[in-house]
Amino acid sequence: MTTSTSTAASPYVATNADSLIRMRGIKKVFVTDEVETHALVDVHLDVQQGEFVAISGPSGCGKTTLLSILGLLDAPSDGEYRLANEAVSDLTPFERARVRNRQIGFIFQAFNLIGDLTVYENVELPLTYRTGDAALDPAERKRRVIDALERVGMSHRTNHYPAQLSGGQQQRVAVARAVAGEPAILLADEPTGNLDSQNGEAVMSLLQELHKGGATICMVTHDPRYAEFADRSVHLFDGRVVDDTAVARAV
Amino acid sequence: MTAPAFSASASPVVSLRNVEKSHRTSGGATYVLRRITIDVAPGEFVTIMGPSGAGKSTLLAILGMLDAEFTGEYFLRGHPVHAMKHEQRRALAREHIGFVFQQYHLLDELTVAENLHVPLDYRGIGKSERASRVADILDRFNMVGKKDLYPRQLSGGQQQLVGIARAVIGEPSLILADEPTGNLHSAQAREIMELFARLNAAGTTIVQVTHSDENARFGHRTIHLKDGWME
């Protein structure tokens, strides 16, 4: 570590140097028509291997911006971000894409399945973007796709198309696509937003199961009911972390 | 009156003969499509309209080989789709069909350029050929400056432009569009329809499903469906 950061700025930061995610003083400023919007003001966040963290807050609090930066879809305007002990805040877009493809699995509100690809092909897709050292041979690719579909209980639907599945089933396929890459972390953006409460809870139970199996998960949600499925709740307000607590759970 | 850009006498791209689809229910069978017989000529731009539940999307799914559970005959460029196995249909669909969806179906964690690579990866096209096709289509669609952006950084209209570019990049003989402007406001919708019209004028056969009379005017003819029947 060469940088010393003002960790005292936030009472919510653990001091584990081996954190899977370590953010210090993350800022994000958007400029439109010469007006500056400070989406993230000064975010400090550590996530340990194996944690299930819910990030919540009112709309406009910066949670989607934070998820984009966590997921390397966007770079911070300022601050330090280390992912699995690699400094990733100043990478070029190309390097960011490489790290993202290996380390991060995404689950989106709108599922983002491609309608003219089968369930199998949709899950396989991100694996086909691995090149060079990270490239997978066809047998390994197949193993991972089948394994991921089994984990979400969709291995009997490999030749189906998204339109032939219910919303809940589509989201399970999307979860399989995210885990097939065996990423260091799963990022979920309102994963239940397009589902009724029954399917929503089923997807949350699935995430909980993956978590028990060792997966690290960060999930953005505005719904406190779903935040309770996580074991830690981070609350954002006006671009800052204002609360960070363990979720109490009745045994 | 513009002259039709297609030749009705040429052998059809799509030929449906007595296509029917039904679901078994406790009281017997419920038909979704009944006795659908349609020919679509090369270069034709056909619109399918009808109330919700009329069978429009089901018909488009059958045309796109996303749904193989139907009776009757379906020939795509003379190939008997109704008699094929799953893998054969997949290969045929990949070669001939480009799909445009109402919800775009872009991958949010891939850039514009990477999203355009997707259909080529599934067509077994070599790396340098893929790169040049992507560069070419970005140029044609005026999106070179947006190639490294992610879908969420684009407007809905721009995302659908990427959706159409992805459908076109595989050089399909048939584009199927399911409510392609359903999520767009009217100015963006018109731009998207004008793009379809230009692609059609350049020779691409198009079948669209829409609720919009304005969108239907861009096509050569309209097929009306009601309760699964052609009117």
Q: B104-160: per-residue pLDDT in tens?
A: 999 888 899 999 998 887 777 888 899 999 999 999 899 999 999 999 889 999 999
Which residue in chain A has the smallest CA separation from B149?
A: A73
3-state secondary structure of A247: coil
- Mutation pick from A116, A157, A189 vs chain B, by most beta carbons of B within 10 Å, is A116
A47-51, A65-69, A222-226: least confidently modelled range: A222-226
The encoded tokens of residue A250 equal 């009745």
Mean pLDDT of A47-51: 95
Quote the DSSP letter at residue B190: H
Whether the CB of B29 is below 8 Å from some CB of chain A: the reply is no
Is B86's CB within 8 Å of A163's CB?
no
pLDDT, tens only, A153-177: 999 999 999 988 998 999 999 999 9
Which has the closest alpha carbon to B208: B222, B188, B194? Answer: B222
The encoded tokens of residue A90 equal 């100043």
The letter for the amino acid at A153 is: G
Q: Note the ipTM here.
A: 0.74
Pairwise CA distance, residues B32 & B72, whole Å = 14
Report the predicted TM-score, pTM, of the whole model to 2 decimal places: 0.79
Mean pLDDT of B221-225: 96
Which has the closest alpha carbon to B92: B102, B104, B82, B100? Answer: B82
Q: Which residues in B lie closer than 8 A to residue A220 (C-beta atoms)?
A: none
pLDDT, tens only, B45-90: 999 999 988 999 999 999 999 999 999 999 999 999 999 999 999 9
Nearest-5° angle of CA A65, CA A241, CA A86?
Answer: 65
Burial A177-203 (b: 16+ CB within 10 A, else e): bbbbbebbbbbbbbbbbbbeeebbbbb
Is B148's CB within 8 Å of A93's CB?
yes
Residue B178 binned pLDDT confidence (cut-offs 50, 70, 90): very high
The letter for the amino acid at B11 is: S
pLDDT, tens only, A95-149: 888 898 889 999 988 888 999 999 999 999 888 877 677 778 889 999 999 999 9
Average pLDDT, chain A: 87
Which residue in chain A has the smallest CA separation from B94?
A: A116
CA A147 → CA A144, A179, B84, B128, B152, distances in Å?
Answer: 5, 9, 29, 32, 30
Contacts with A, B 165-204, CB within 8 Å: none
The end-to-end CA distance of chain A, in Å, is 40
Mean pLDDT of A4-23: 60
Report how many Cβ contacts below 8 Å link chain A to chain B.
52
Which residue in chain B has the smallest CA separation from A189?
A: B108
Q: Does B24 score more than 90 pLDDT?
A: no
Q: Which residues in A lie closer than 8 A to residue B103 (C-beta atoms)?
A: 110
pLDDT of residue A70: 95
Is B105's CB within 8 Å of A115's CB?
yes
